[in-house]
Amino acid sequence: MSDPILRIRNLQVTAPDGRALTRGIDVDLAPGEVLGLIGESGAGKSTIGLAALGYGRGGCRISGGTVEVADRQIVPGTRRDREQVRGARVAYVAQSAAAAFNPAQRLGEQMIEAALYHGTMTRPEAEAWRDELIRVLQLPNPETFPDRYPHQVSGGQLQRAMIAMAMACRPDILVLDEPTTALDVTTQIEVLVLLRGLIRRYGTAALYITHDLAVVAQISDRIMVLRHGELVEQGTAQAILEAPQQDYTRRLVAERGAHERLAATRSPGAEILSVERLKVFYGHNQALHDVSLTLGRGETLAIVGESGSGKSTLARAIAGLPPFSQGRMRFDGAELPARFQKRSQDMLRRIQLVYQLPDVALNPRQTIAEIIGRPLQLYFGLRGKALAEGVARLLADVGLPADFAARLPGALSGGQKQRVCVARALAAQPDLIICDEVTSALDPLVAEEVLQLLARLQQERGLAYLFITHDLGVVRRIADRTLVMQKGRVVEEGPTETIFTPPWQGYTGELITSVPEMRRDWLDGLLATRGQALETAK
Amino acid sequence: MSRLILKRLGLGVFTLWLVSVLVFAGTQVLPGDVASAILGQNATPEALDVLRRDLGLNDPLVLRYVTWLKGFATGDLGNSLASGQPVSELIGSRLMNTLMLAAYAAVISVPLAVVLGILVAVFRGSIFDRVMNVLALACVALPEYFLGLLLVLWFSVQLGWLPALADTYPGMGLGEWIKATTLPALTLVLVTMAQMMRMTRTALLGVMDQSYVETAWLKGLRAPRVVLRHALPNAAAPIVNVVAFNIAYLITGVVLVEAVFNYNGLGRFMVDAVAKRDLPLVQASALAFAAAFVLLNMIADIAAIALNPRLRHPR
């Protein structure tokens, strides 16, 4: 290996509360090399990426070790050293470009700021280089794009603009922190292909940080697997995927490749919910156009689509939340009023909702017992000892220890919080649970456990699930039937098996083939079948 | 956006009308009236009755209000009940005095507060930050007549630099005027600065935690550029708001300071008018204050709208 462009030795980063975020990590990155850093949240991968810029996020401190960029040491080093490296030699691309752009400034100015500030280019040079990057990254209307404000362009475009902004000084190293995670699968492919093309074209080295092994497999030469701030193993991408040495890595690889069903396909019971020609309006915008569906007792129906497809609106409409909707809904043979205020207490009880973000869905000042106990009081009038027993039973049902009852949500992990949300829904003894992206905020292995829990509960209690998700891998494993939505309309509906069996067609096919697979040649294969449309960037 | 502004204007006019009704009703609840105030305690009932009839005080309440409103709409503020002089004449010079004192205080207070607010935000958690915060809180906690008297004690009594009374008269030179009004202006600066400084700090700190500020650091920018180019423009709306609120306070909340320094402004004048139950004067003064308040808040709201890039540059 040639002399590394980035050399990190024995990196120690300490959180404000004194916790060690990384314990003695070594990283070597050769010029032009792409190194994947992979792990769950809390693995320390973003921390390492930011350390390459000599930066600790949110009061975190680089408390030990050295960081050298080319032959310049920035940790330990002076502020001046770090400032001269940041943006110029090492540049950062954040997960959420929407938050990472200054909302009050035009994109074009922000994209050239680093080049002008570091004095690496004159303004005309910087603008010419920016415009070249805009073209390479295939941003729309390249002439007017720099004049736009962040809120005027889409998420996928912002992510590409952020990459162009990072390239402003022609850095040696890009730190890519989950650059495609917030994007829809079809958009993710575009950004991934363009990013790979860009890195190859300009010979830029990169740290690619992600929790998605399949994504990183398409772009990196080597992979480091991290957990709890320590290295689990590292090797070439090929070796990690095909011959993982450590048990943890094997589980990661297996989880992502899992296709076996968590529950046997059932023949649906009597119809519990039907929706006919549902329309929902937000002001002048129509979010749903004539959506119809049926759901039987004990059945799981997955609603699949990308952002803006209306899948969450559909969930909210069935829960009775949107202020204005038209159409007909029936629940267990009775008319289901459009607004939850008009529904009977019993109807409200029988339809429960579990949200995407357990952090936000739980009141941080209520104990778990209060959170789970509330529906028991409300619907079944339980008090005192009966209530405490009910809470204990529910905690056991969702696989949480009984002593969690006295805790506050803040003391729980993400997966445990989501289990509490499930327990709260179960407390009402519902017939239907609407699961709105319940696993998408969780780490893969934790998400897997929550899915298994949901499958088990369904089998024990004959619950019907309406499973809203963008994750097709999950759908395939848990849903009996699948409904694909795009721009507020149903584009396809049928048994999951049928939907996922080739030949696929149209939008559904595009969605299915866009899900990254655990093969190094997956992206190349996809590009070959889709033709050269995406690949002009190379 | 222009629709929004029109709506705010309409709302402002409505607020002013409401104020006029409330003030009118309020003065009716007060015991005594202008007749007894003019004639004193020893007046005979007959004399009071005659004076009341002359002043129109025996007309029904609603009629008197409508008469006043008609006059107001045509630009006639009526005459003082006590002295018979036109209200607009009496109020004009005093309003001017109040506005000039407010302007003097604002010119010092606003820039100083915003700059200090930025500095304490940048040096968050430092000794400087803590000292400034304690001082600011102390200034807010102390009543302004007390602060005013403290300043008099130091600058007039002990040092003898500035006069203790803010005597102003028409035609005095600017230098003279500044010397006379510096102590009341300083008192107002101390009273209003704290809130503006702390709001600037809070707004800026809220923005400093945003991802785009991190992006700026990771571009290798130094603190002044990060703060002035990336943080401050996004924190401007709440700062503008609190600045407007405090300027409004400088105009409307000066009664005590005017009293301490015997300054001939509108606040003290209005208190006198209330004591005399001189309704037209009270009405006009109250409306002048309310108008200043409404106008400044409206400017702040419109500025906040204008500062929002989403509204300035729709998709």
Both tokens of A339, joined, read: 């607004």
Which of A84-88, A159-163, A238-242, B304-308 is predicted with the least confidence, judged by mean pLDDT? B304-308
Is a pLDDT exceeding 80 seen at residue A324?
Answer: no
Measure the CA–CA gap between A166 and A97, rounded to whole angstroms. 11
Chain A contact for B220 (CB, 8 A cutoff): yes
Count of A-B CB contacts under 8 Å: 74
The amino acid sitting at A128 is A
Measure the CA–CA gap between A465 and A301, rounded to whole angstroms. 6
Contact B219 A117 (CB under 8 A): yes
**Predicted local distance difference test score (pLDDT) of residue B174:** 82
**Predicted local distance difference test score (pLDDT) of residue B201:** 93
CA angle A229, A235, A241 (to 5 degrees): 100
Q: Express each pLDDT in A22-72 by its tens digit.
A: 988 999 999 999 999 998 888 889 999 999 999 988 888 899 899 999 888
Chain B contact for A113 (CB, 8 A cutoff): yes
Contact A83 B214 (CB under 8 A): no
Q: Express each pLDDT in A182-194 by its tens digit.
A: 888 888 888 899 8
Q: Express each pLDDT in A120-153 by its tens digit.
A: 999 999 999 999 999 988 888 999 999 999 988 8
Q: What are the Cα distances from residue A139, in Å, to A123, A144, A171, B147?
A: 21, 10, 21, 61
Measure the CA–CA gap between B39 and B35, rounded to whole angstroms. 6
Q: Which residue has the tokens 């809120």?
A: A151
Q: What value does the CA radius of gyration of chain B take, rounded to a whole number of Å?
A: 24
The amino acid sitting at B242 is V
**Predicted local distance difference test score (pLDDT) of residue A265:** 63
User: Whole-prediction pTM value?
Assistant: 0.80
Both tokens of B257, joined, read: 């300071």
Give percent helix, percent strand, percent coil of chain A, each to the nearest 5. 45, 25, 30
* A82: nearest CA partner in chain B: B220
Is a pLDDT exceeding 70 seen at residue A1?
Answer: no
**Predicted local distance difference test score (pLDDT) of residue A67:** 94
Contact B219 A87 (CB under 8 A): yes
**Predicted local distance difference test score (pLDDT) of residue A255:** 73
**Predicted local distance difference test score (pLDDT) of residue A42:** 80
Q: Which residue has the tokens 């003064």?
A: B285
Chain A contact for B224 (CB, 8 A cutoff): no
Under CATH, which number does the domain A271-501 receive?
Answer: 3.40.50.300
Chain A contact for B240 (CB, 8 A cutoff): no
Chain A contact for B310 (CB, 8 A cutoff): yes
Which residues contact residue A346 at a Cβ distance below 8 angstroms, ignoring those fewer than 6 apart? none
Contact B220 A149 (CB under 8 A): no
Question: If phi over 0 gives left and psi between -120 and 50 gives alpha, with beta otherwise, what is residue A423?
Answer: alpha
β-partners of residue A36 are A208, A223
Measure the CA–CA gap between B131 and B142, rounded to whole angstroms. 17
The A489-495 sheet, strands edge to edge: A351-354, A432-436, A464-469, A300-304, A481-486, A489-495
CB A293 within 8 A of CB A483: yes
For A83, which of B212, B214, B220 is closest by C-beta distance? B220
The counts of H helices and E strands in chain B are 15, 0
The amino acid sitting at A277 is R
Measure the CA–CA gap between A36 and A195, rounded to whole angstroms. 14
Q: What is the DSSP letter of A86?
A: B
CB A428 within 8 A of CB A236: no
**Predicted local distance difference test score (pLDDT) of residue A12:** 92
* A93: nearest CA partner in chain B: B215
Measure the CA–CA gap between A340 and A319, rounded to whole angstroms. 7
Question: If phi over 0 gives left and psi between -120 and 50 gives alpha, with beta otherwise, what is residue B164?
Answer: alpha
Measure the CA–CA gap between A272 and A309, rounded to whole angstroms. 24
Closest CA to A415 of A403, A427, A404: A404
**Predicted local distance difference test score (pLDDT) of residue A536:** 47
pLDDT tens by residue, chain B, 315 residues: 677 778 888 888 898 889 888 888 877 777 766 677 777 767 777 777 777 777 777 777 788 788 878 878 787 777 777 777 888 888 888 888 889 899 999 999 999 999 999 999 988 888 999 999 899 888 888 888 888 888 888 888 888 788 877 777 777 778 888 888 888 899 999 989 988 999 999 999 999 989 999 999 999 999 999 999 999 999 998 899 899 989 998 888 888 888 888 888 888 888 888 887 787 888 888 888 888 888 888 888 888 878 888 777 776
Kindly indicate the confidence band of residue A531, based on its pLDDT and cuts at 50, 70 and 90: low
CB A208 within 8 A of CB A176: yes
CB-neighbour burial class of residue B7 (10 A; exposed 0-12, middle 13-18, buried 19+): exposed
Residues of A in contact with B225 (CB under 8 A): 117
Measure the CA–CA gap between A383 and A381, rounded to whole angstroms. 6
Strand A464-469 to A300-304 pairing: parallel
Which residues contact residue A42 at a Cβ distance below 8 angstroms, ignoring those fewer than 6 apart? A228, A229
- CATH 1.10.3720.10 assigned to domain B91-312? The reply is yes
Contact A86 B222 (CB under 8 A): no
- A interface test, pick of B218, B222, B232, B239 with most A CB neighbours within 10 Å: B218
Kindly indicate the confidence band of residue A379, based on its pLDDT and cuts at 50, 70 and 90: very high
Contact A100 B214 (CB under 8 A): yes
Strand A90-93 to A173-177 pairing: parallel
**Predicted local distance difference test score (pLDDT) of residue A538:** 39
Is a pLDDT exceeding 90 seen at residue A526?
Answer: no
Chain A contact for B125 (CB, 8 A cutoff): no
* Nearest chain B Cα distance for residue A356, angstroms: 22
**Predicted local distance difference test score (pLDDT) of residue A226:** 93
Is a pLDDT exceeding 60 seen at residue A535?
Answer: no
Kindly indicate the confidence band of residue A349, based on its pLDDT and cuts at 50, 70 and 90: very high
**Predicted local distance difference test score (pLDDT) of residue A410:** 87
Mean pLDDT, residues A364-374: 94
Is a pLDDT exceeding 50 seen at residue A537?
Answer: no
CATH class of A6-96+173-257: alpha beta
Chain B contact for A170 (CB, 8 A cutoff): no
For B220, which of A84, A100, A152 is closest by C-beta distance? A84
CB A350 within 8 A of CB A292: no
CB-neighbour burial class of residue A417 (10 A; exposed 0-12, middle 13-18, buried 19+): buried
